[in-house]
Amino acid sequence: MSTQILDNEVSNLIDLNNIKKKKINIAIFGHGNVGRHLIDQIISSKEEISRRRDLDLNIFAVANSKTVLIKQKGLNENWLEEKQEFGQKFSVEDVISFAKNHNLQNLILVDNTADAEFVHNYETFVENGFHLVSSNKIANTLNLKFYQNLRKKLTAKKRHYLYETNVGAGLPLIDTIKLLHLSGENITRIRGVFSGSLSYIFNTFSESDRTFSSVLRSAIDKGYTEPDPREDLCGNDVGRKLLILARELDLHNELKDITIQNLIPKDLRNVSKEEFLGRLKELDVPFQIKKKNQSKDFVFRYVADLHGDLSKETGALLNVSLVSVSKNSMLGALKGSDSIFEIYTESYGDNPIVIQGAGAGAAVTARGVFGDILRISDKD
């Protein structure tokens, strides 16, 4: 091999190594369970993603309701300690101004809060060049006008908004429904167990001789429920998830349109969390009676059901309730804390598309958010 050829090959290798990687600048709001897992997942995967996908993932800001830590060159594994020491009070405009002043490109806002007020900043972020990724369901369940205006803004600014974890944690559900709907497939019904916590509770209660309160206590101890389990038992969270799926089909529904069965006895709905947790045994007799009256080889499932005439904007019926199903059905065979979604379409007839998997857990949800970040990173 001649010296000239060798020099050319070395030069080509140097040029390849100097190809500038695409830098994705990420601002993360909310660092509770899901947020902490997400930040740690991104930091631990950063080098591997850089090598495999030519992406440089840079978390330049992390915030909660009180303080923000901003670092132009990004966070490292000691981010939480640094934030505790150097975090400062802030406004949303401070984060946006920092990105502008430092000419940060490929911006993504990640909302891992459960804050009803924070979602009203989404349009401001979009106007200033941010894409949106959210595990927070609230923006997609506010009034229809807010929902539609946000999407108009996203279209006008050519920004993306991904929220796969809003329903089904990390399962590929929303994207599947979007693709079916956009391709012209007529979805006729969506039904399933949408809550991982309620899945665990009723799967366990149905198959064991334990009291309802002991099963619920186990779910609390395992971290499956919200700190106040009434947030799960009231059914509102499942209702919001059902509304999100309805709106993916361009249905014009609001939360008030959903019939939701609240599983909490009326006299326990407005007491303090501490009092409720101290009175869990009061749930035992009502649920034991339901169980005793159930048909043989049937089990309980807390089911969300979107049906009716889904070809009309206002033709849908939305129900969330505790139902008794055969053990031999797909819903009845569910185990652990899995969620399951049955998607019925005109083409598939009586045989639904079934998506099933882990429906709860901070690490699973964080991984789904991470996936949305990577999908947006690949789009631009």
Reported as a single tens digit per residue, the pLDDT across 343-373 is: 999 998 889 999 999 866 788 899 999 999 9
The SS3 assignment for 144 reads helix
Question: Do 36 and 161 sit in the same domain of this protein?
Answer: yes
Question: Do 95 and 216 sit in the same domain of this protein?
Answer: no
Question: Do 123 and 179 sit in the same domain of this protein?
Answer: no
Q: What is d(CA 277, CA 89) in angstroms, rounded to the nearest whole number?
A: 35
| pLDDT at site 227 | 86
| pLDDT at residue 5 is higher than 80 | no
Question: Do 98 and 234 sit in the same domain of this protein?
Answer: no
Question: Do 199 and 255 sit in the same domain of this protein?
Answer: yes
| pLDDT at site 24 | 97
| pLDDT at site 270 | 97
Q: What is d(CA 128, CA 107) in angstroms, rounded to the nearest whole number?
A: 9
Which DSSP symbol is given to 88? B
Q: How far is CA 181 from CA 222, 252, 258, 296, 347, in A?
A: 37, 15, 22, 39, 12
| pLDDT at residue 251 is higher than 60 | yes
- Residue among 173, 133, 194, 197 nearest 362 (CA): 197
Question: Do 149 and 184 sit in the same domain of this protein?
Answer: no
- The answer to whether 322 and 260 have CB atoms below 8 angstroms apart is no
Collect all residues with Cβ–Cβ distance below 8 Å to 312 and sequence separation of at least 6. none
Q: Is 379 a catalytic residue?
A: no
Question: Do 137 and 19 sit in the same domain of this protein?
Answer: yes
As a whole-number percent, the residues of the chain with pLDDT over 90 amount to: 88
| pLDDT at site 258 | 98
Lowest mean pLDDT among 7-21, 129-143, 228-242, 342-356: 7-21
How many domains does the structure of the chain reveal?
A: 2
At residue 331, what are phi and psi to the nearest 5 degrees? -70, -40
> Mean pLDDT throughout 223-239?
93
Q: Which of 152, 241, 291, 296 is catalytic?
A: 241
Looking at residue 300, which CATH number applies to its domain? 3.30.360.10
Which DSSP symbol is given to 228? S
Q: In which domain, by residue range, is 190 found? A: 174-359
In the block, residue with structure tokens 């930091």: 43
| pLDDT at residue 298 is higher than 70 | yes
Question: Do 71 and 186 sit in the same domain of this protein?
Answer: no
Supply the mean pLDDT for the chain.
93
> Mean pLDDT throughout 276-282?
97
Which DSSP symbol is given to 64? -
| pLDDT at residue 106 is higher than 70 | yes
Q: What is d(CA 233, CA 201) in angstroms, rounded to the nearest whole number?
A: 10
Question: Do 107 and 237 sit in the same domain of this protein?
Answer: no
Looking at residue 62, which CATH number applies to its domain? 3.40.50.720
- The answer to whether 300 and 206 have CB atoms below 8 angstroms apart is yes
Question: Do 272 and 374 sit in the same domain of this protein?
Answer: no
Question: Do 122 and 164 sit in the same domain of this protein?
Answer: yes
Q: What is d(CA 119, CA 257) in angstroms, rounded to the nearest whole number?
A: 22
Question: Do 183 and 309 sit in the same domain of this protein?
Answer: yes
| pLDDT at residue 130 is higher than 50 | yes
| pLDDT at site 19 | 59
User: Using a CB cutoff of 8 Å and minimum separation of 24, what contacts does 43-51 make?
Assistant: 43/75, 43/76, 43/77, 43/79, 44/77, 45/370, 49/374, 50/21
